[in-house]
């Protein structure tokens, strides 16, 4: 696409940790061009560089450095028209702001959790359920919107859901015992105090364990005309915060519906492809990368696989407690790329198919 034909987009809540990732990943994007950034009232009218306490390891892109921040409400559209909005808003703001933009004709790709479980809102990881985007037209009709809301998932569920998709399709999945070791960036900025994490583990993350089960059931579910029929599986989780910057690792002990060897499980994960996504800028060459080494994946060494968009799986082996229907392994996914900003951008790309 030439610059003229790029879709004009906004980032809502652009100064926070996820907003920064959206900006970083949208820089020089072939489909989208940032034309507006919004922030809280406190920052309105400042340039982005003045207002943002930039925390990423690359510098602020020049294209947005001097962009003046707009208010996070639909009056922003008066200043600058845009078709899509990538929302990095906290839940309490997303609740009112996202529907307002949707009603005003904007497609909102949301990273907030507020509407994820709404019946007519697609909750999408394209590699898992790109067809769920079909809900959008029902949402628009039901709510009388010309725009709409499309949600990405909780960052912790992205690895497990991606790895379960081929297993669910091939063998069925009944139960999963999972334990997460999550990066501090998942809590945003300032987020986790360093006094809480140096030489320590935090064995609790609010609401996280419930989401893992709920969202995975919807993600792996089936689109039935105007709603999603949840997948029949159950995930139990222990969620922990550990001393790593980025990426969430999740151990998986899976009970399948039908027998399968670890080799068969590794094979279906490794061979999993979603043809319709081929060529999308943010789609990784391989959705699921299965590693054979005994001690991989590791967060620091593997999180950038597929530019941070792959789900990395390792240690696929038998789960003896489930006999011949058991398999266990670990998944790793970059929480602020795959599990947040990158995921929403891929959702928007998938809409161009």
Binding site for a copy of itself (CB under 8 A): 17, 55-57, 175, 177, 179, 181, 184-185, 189-204, 234, 236, 238, 240, 242-245, 249, 251, 253, 294-301, 304, 314-315, 319-321, 328, 330
Write down the least CB distance from residue 207 to a copy of itself, Å. Answer: 11
The CA distances from residue 66 to 12, 37, 41, 125, in Å, are 17, 11, 18, 33
State the DSSP string of 279-308. Answer: T-TTS-S-SEEEP-STT---HHHHTTGGGG
Complex with a copy of itself: residue 282 or 336, whichever CB lies closer: 336
Q: Is the distance from CB of 325 to CB of 272 less than 8 angstroms?
A: no
Q: Which residue among 248, 265, 311, 334 is the active-site one?
A: 248
Write down the least CB distance from residue 241 to a copy of itself, Å. Answer: 9
Two tokens at 326?
């058991």
Q: Is the distance from CB of 157 to CB of 131 less than 8 angstroms?
A: no
Write down the least CB distance from residue 346 to a copy of itself, Å. Answer: 23
Q: Is the distance from CB of 244 to CB of 334 less than 8 angstroms?
A: no
Complex with a copy of itself: residue 13 or 122, whichever CB lies closer: 13
Complex with a copy of itself: residue 40 or 213, whichever CB lies closer: 213
Q: Helices 158-171 & 262-271, crossing angle to 10 degrees?
A: 110
Dist CA 185 CA 112 (whole Å): 15
Two tokens at 85?
């909005």
Complex with a copy of itself: residue 6 or 175, whichever CB lies closer: 175
Write down the least CB distance from residue 311 to a copy of itself, Å. Answer: 15
248 is catalytic: yes
Complex with a copy of itself: residue 71 or 188, whichever CB lies closer: 188
Write down the least CB distance from residue 332 to a copy of itself, Å. Answer: 9
Q: Which residue among 155, 239, 265, 311 is the active-site one?
A: 155
Q: Would you give the distance in Å from CA 96 to the centre of its chain?
A: 21
Q: Which residues are catalytic?
A: 155, 248
């Amino acid at each position: 696409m030439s610059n003229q034909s790029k879709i004009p987009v906004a980032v809502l809540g652009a100064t926070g940790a996820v907003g920064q990732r959206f900006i970083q990943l949208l820089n020089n994007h072939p489909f989208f061009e940032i034309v507006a950034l919004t922030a809280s009232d406190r920052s309105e009218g400042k340039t982005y560089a003045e207002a943002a306490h930039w925390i990423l390891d690359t510098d602020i892109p020049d294209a947005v450095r001097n962009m003046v921040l707009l208010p996070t409400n639909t009056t922003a559209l008066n200043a600058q028209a845009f078709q899509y909005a990538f929302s990095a808003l906290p839940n309490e703001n997303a609740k009112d702001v996202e529907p307002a933009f949707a009603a005003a004709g904007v497609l909102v790709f949301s990273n907030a959790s507020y509407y994820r479980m709404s019946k007519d809102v697609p909750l999408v990881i394209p590699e898992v359920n790109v067809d769920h985007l079909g809900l959008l037209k029902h949402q628009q009709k039901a709510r009388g919107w010309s725009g709409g809301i499309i949600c990405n998932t909780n960052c912790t569920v992205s690895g497990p859901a991606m790895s379960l998709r081929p297993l669910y399709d091939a063998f069925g999945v009944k139960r999963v015992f999972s334990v997460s070791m999550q990066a501090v960036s998942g809590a945003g900025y300032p987020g986790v105090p360093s006094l809480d994490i140096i030489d320590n583990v935090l064995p609790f993350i609010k609401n996280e364990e419930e989401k893992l089960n709920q969202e995975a059931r919807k993600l792996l579910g089936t689109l039935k005309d105007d709603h999603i029929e949840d997948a029949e599986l159950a995930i139990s989780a222990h969620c922990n915060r550990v001393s790593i910057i980025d990426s969430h690792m999740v151990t998986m002990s899976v009970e399948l519906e039908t027998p399968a060897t670890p080799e068969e499980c590794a094979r279906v994960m490794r061979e999993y492809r979603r043809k319709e996504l081929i060529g999308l800028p943010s789609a990784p060459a391989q959705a699921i990368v299965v590693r054979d080494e005994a001690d991989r994946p590791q967060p620091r060494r593997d999180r950038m696989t597929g530019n941070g968009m792959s789900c990395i799986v390792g240690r696929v082996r038998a789960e003896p407690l489930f006999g011949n229907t058991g398999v266990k392994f670990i998944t790793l996914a970059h929480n602020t790329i795959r599990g947040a900003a990158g995921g929403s951008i891929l959702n928007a790309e998938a809409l161009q198919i």
